[in-house]
Structure 1
Amino acid sequence: MSSHDRNIQVEPEASYCPYPLYTELRERGVTFVEEAGAFMVTRAEDVDTVLRDVETFSSRDTIGLPPAEPGGEPTGPGFYLVDTDAPEHSRRRRLAARAFTSGRVARFEPEIRAMGAELIEGLRGRDEVDFVADFAVKLPIAAIATVLGVEEADTAAMRRLSEKVLSVLGDAPDPVGFARACEEFGALLAPALEAAAGVEQETTILHTIAASEIGAEDAMRFVIELLFAGNVTTADAISSSTRFLAEDVRLADRLRREPSRLAPFVEESLRLESPVQGLFRTATRDTELGGSPIPAGARLLVGFGAGNRDPKLVERPDELDLDRVSPHSHFAFGRGAHTCLGHALARLEVRVALEVLLGTVRRFELTVPPERLDYQRILSVRHLQSLPLRLYWS
């Protein structure tokens, strides 16, 4: 029986809570899913295999745009790193990585903390808020703009364009819309990149990029990629982490008493509710994965979120456990050559956001039942569109 003979029906609810679907898919193995237009890879072992075998599984259509015709040009302008293969990817990553060393990222913590504190203080006096709109989407875009050295006045436009990119990668991917959104991004960023190129001291990541061997066009594509991934996915991570705490007052109180436990909490939140639930790969040759034949040219949706809840990856995978022996062993940031370059910055922003929230607000809780929370209908992301909270101030 081929994998195409074992198709599975994806119910609409799977976009809101995909975890029962992941369990069923793990039991079946690598299975072709019509709604995804791809073989879904859900077992941790298979996810790891695909992410590490970059020769067999290409990243050229990783973000989910319609695949290019054989021998044709890739659809859309593409990003700088996420949708390129070795050896080009390796060369580009070496050039870009110097902008994201741990030292460069850590020095921005005081500024990010001040931003978070200002946002929380701006909510003081309000009993009910939409935490996504009022905080979670605002901190990451402000932080990434500061780290890059982009004007604060442009942050609203950058967030709008990030949402636009996310929307055109949804259920009906739109290559033309993607290209237009990237063009708008480019027009917005061009003055900042030009100004950064004339500065000798590398005071921001934008200056570091401008001073590198990356050409002007590639530098633009890289910054667009950073802005999109760096603010949308981090906002989702902040939202999901806050939801966990809003539903568990005892856990929130424990983290207030034991702030050193925040780091493992962030890792568990990332594992359980990975902002990027999956990315696409394309088979470069006939192969086999998890016992299923995969023909050359086939697309695979590599399930980070599914692999993170595989019992063979961690014990009691659906539970939040602050005492995991290897808390970083999840797939939330990918694995192998395409591990997310901005993972240190994302972790820093989520941790600081939670420290500020827990240190300022005495208690917070959901104002709606969890099943009424609104998630975007995309299998490849875990995008909470609103998080209505009731706040109890100290």
Structure 2
Amino acid sequence: MADGASGLGDQARAEAYALPLEDLNPGDPELFRTDTHWPYFERLRAEAPVHWCKESEFGSYWSVTRYNDIMSVDTNHQVFSSGAALGGITIRDARPDLRRPSFIAMDPPKHDVQRKTVSPIVAPANLAVMEPIIRERAGRILDELPVGEVFNWVDRVSIELTTQMLATLFDFPFEERRRLTHWSDVATCLPMPGALCETEDARQAELMECLAVFTDLWNQRVNKPPAGDLVSMMAHSDATRDMTPDEYLGNIILLIVGGNDTTRNSISGGLYALNKFPAEYDKLRANPGLIPNMVPEIIRWQTPLAHMRRTALVDTEIAGQPIAKGDKVVMWYVSGNRDEAVIENPEAFRIDRERPRQHLSFGFGIHRCVGNRLAELQLKIVWEEILKRFRHIEVVAEPKRVRSSFVKGYEELPVVIHA
């Protein structure tokens, strides 16, 4: 694969180190769209691991960039809150009138009972039932791909596989499944001219449509015996059956984004990584038994969600840096996953890495990703099925990346399968 990014990388490094520290804004979405955020975080880990950005389109915020400091924030929900009323889990504050609670944007005890409602869907016994379904679908998707012509891997494989899975989890009308992908993109997009949603009002109108569709599904299922899909689980649980519409929509969006973005961007990111590190692709072809080890390495190297945010409930400190009550604290998973002090040679993609699960991509503590095992299962299966069919899938140009400092993902990944 031609690497058109190296010149861009040199320029980004020069810019990242030329700015006064107090002017660094690592949350600028443009840095992620252009894949030039890396030197900013490298510098912050070395010079200001707990860094104050005074002004940005997201207001002022602290950046926590080292692995161990991120862990200490992520596992301390008594001091660092996820609460929607305080701004929630992303660097962008929702408008006060649009702050929708969901169990990821809640603190205990309410968080615990709502999470417990939906977690059985990814229990080991249920994953065992899903495995042959995922395998059959992955095989069908791969068998329909064109050989010898360029196509967009994101659309044909990554989105298609994850959206089929989402439709199953929600028991959503299968032929309308791409609406789930659309609502996921709407939920995480930054409104601006030319974007998927040009204004916040347009974005909210789309989310209201999502709520209306899911309210219909709720009304159908609440009067039927409990079933194994997410809507039925919530409709029949004491912890969730009396949710407000806002709370229901908050949880639906959480489950759509969580079930979609992590896996979708890791499926794309894994293929991109193997093309950037062709010796690893050779290693994989020679030994497909490395797939279970490769999967968490893909998730570390990609880091599909770049950050999570908390709000300080009291005056406190992180690594000796005083933090005031009410301050916004951003845990940059994307930086912690490249922390040289904790992870050996973190820039490298190594499918036989000794401790591949040593990563922050799923978070830690009470908010650790509930669907992490399902995400890993989908990645494992798709790579097993790829290796059965194709010797080489070549990435032929740099991907088009999402303009977001939250979702670290791809809109397009042009590839060609060689006969």
Shared fold, TM over 0.5: yes
State whether structure 2 residue 222 is matched by structure 1 residue 197: yes
After superposition, residues 142-161 of structure 1 pair within 5 angstroms as 142-161=164-183
State whether structure 2 residue 110 is matched by structure 1 residue 91: no
Q: Find the aligned partners of 1:177 and 1:329 in 2 and give their Cα distance.
A: 40
State whether structure 2 residue 12 is matched by structure 1 residue 19: no
After superposition, residues 257-336 of structure 1 pair within 5 angstroms as 257-336=286-365
The alpha-carbon deviation at position 253 of structure 1 amounts to 3.8
State whether structure 2 residue 50 is matched by structure 1 residue 30: yes
Q: Find the aligned partners of 1:112 and 1:278 in 2 and give their Cα distance.
A: 28
Assess if the C-alpha contact under 8 Å between 1:186 and 1:224 holds in 2: no
State whether structure 2 residue 24 is matched by structure 1 residue 8: yes
Q: Find the aligned partners of 1:79 and 1:127 in 2 and give their Cα distance.
A: 45
SS at match of 1:137: helix
Look up the equivalent residue of 2:328 and give its one-letter code: R
Query: Aligned to 1:338, which of 344, 359, 367?
Result: 367
Query: Aligned to 2:73, which of 21, 36, 50?
Result: 50
Indicate the RMSD between aligned Cα atoms, in angstroms: 2.6
CA 1:287–1:67 in 2, change beyond 3 Å: closer, same or farther? farther
The alpha-carbon deviation at position 354 of structure 1 amounts to 1.9
Look up the equivalent residue of 2:138 and give its one-letter code: G
CA 1:375–1:108 in 2, change beyond 3 Å: closer, same or farther? same
The answer to which of 258-267 and 214-223 deviates more is 214-223
Assess if the C-alpha contact under 8 Å between 2:402 and 2:408 holds in 1: yes
The alpha-carbon deviation at position 113 of structure 1 amounts to 1.5
CA 1:126–1:226 in 2, change beyond 3 Å: closer, same or farther? farther
After superposition, residues 353-372 of structure 1 pair within 5 angstroms as 353-368=382-397, 372=398
Aligned to 1:377: 403
Deviations 1:304-355 (A, max 9, x none): 1111111222111112233434322211011001001111111111222222
Query: Aligned to 1:116, which of 138, 142, 164?
Result: 138
Look up the equivalent residue of 1:209 and give its one-letter code: M
CA 1:8–1:173 in 2, change beyond 3 Å: closer, same or farther? farther
The alpha-carbon deviation at position 154 of structure 1 amounts to 2.0
Aligned to 1:233: 262
Look up the equivalent residue of 2:65 and give its one-letter code: T
Aligned to 1:71: none
Q: Find the aligned partners of 2:110 and 2:22 in 1 and give their Cα distance.
A: 36
Look up the equivalent residue of 1:143 and give its one-letter code: M
CA 1:176–1:87 in 2, change beyond 3 Å: closer, same or farther? farther
CA 1:201–1:188 in 2, change beyond 3 Å: closer, same or farther? closer
Aligned to 2:6: none
Deviations 1:258-277 (A, max 9, x none): 23211211111111110001
CA 1:287–1:313 in 2, change beyond 3 Å: closer, same or farther? same
The alpha-carbon deviation at position 289 of structure 1 amounts to 0.9
CA 1:175–1:94 in 2, change beyond 3 Å: closer, same or farther? farther
Q: Which runs of 5+ in 1 are unaligned?
A: 69-73
SS at match of 1:300: strand
After superposition, residues 71-220 of structure 1 pair within 5 angstroms as 74-168=96-190, 176=201, 179-200=204-225, 202-213=227-238, 214-215=240-241, 217=243, 218=247
Deviations 1:191-210 (A, max 9, x none): 33333334436343444333
Assess if the C-alpha contact under 8 Å between 1:367 and 1:390 holds in 2: yes
The alpha-carbon deviation at position 77 of structure 1 amounts to 4.6
State whether structure 2 residue 67 is matched by structure 1 residue 59: no
Q: Find the aligned partners of 2:160 and 2:349 in 1 and give their Cα distance.
A: 27
Aligned to 1:40: 63
The alpha-carbon deviation at position 97 of structure 1 amounts to 2.0
Q: Find the aligned partners of 1:174 and 1:303 in 2 and give their Cα distance.
A: 27
CA 1:169–1:104 in 2, change beyond 3 Å: closer, same or farther? farther
Q: Find the aligned partners of 1:169 and 1:281 in 2 and give their Cα distance.
A: 22
The alpha-carbon deviation at position 248 of structure 1 amounts to 3.7
Q: Find the aligned partners of 2:402 and 2:147 in 1 and give their Cα distance.
A: 30
The answer to which of 196-205 and 134-143 deviates more is 196-205
CA 1:202–1:293 in 2, change beyond 3 Å: closer, same or farther? same
SS at match of 1:262: helix
Q: Find the aligned partners of 1:374 and 1:140 in 2 and give their Cα distance.
A: 19
Q: Find the aligned partners of 2:105 and 2:134 in 1 and give their Cα distance.
A: 29
Assess if the C-alpha contact under 8 Å between 2:401 and 2:410 holds in 1: yes
Q: Find the aligned partners of 2:210 and 2:111 in 1 and give their Cα distance.
A: 22
Deviations 1:169-204 (A, max 9, x none): 799997655543432212122333333334436343
SS at match of 1:365: strand
Assess if the C-alpha contact under 8 Å between 2:32 and 2:404 holds in 1: no
The answer to which of 289-298 and 330-339 deviates more is 289-298
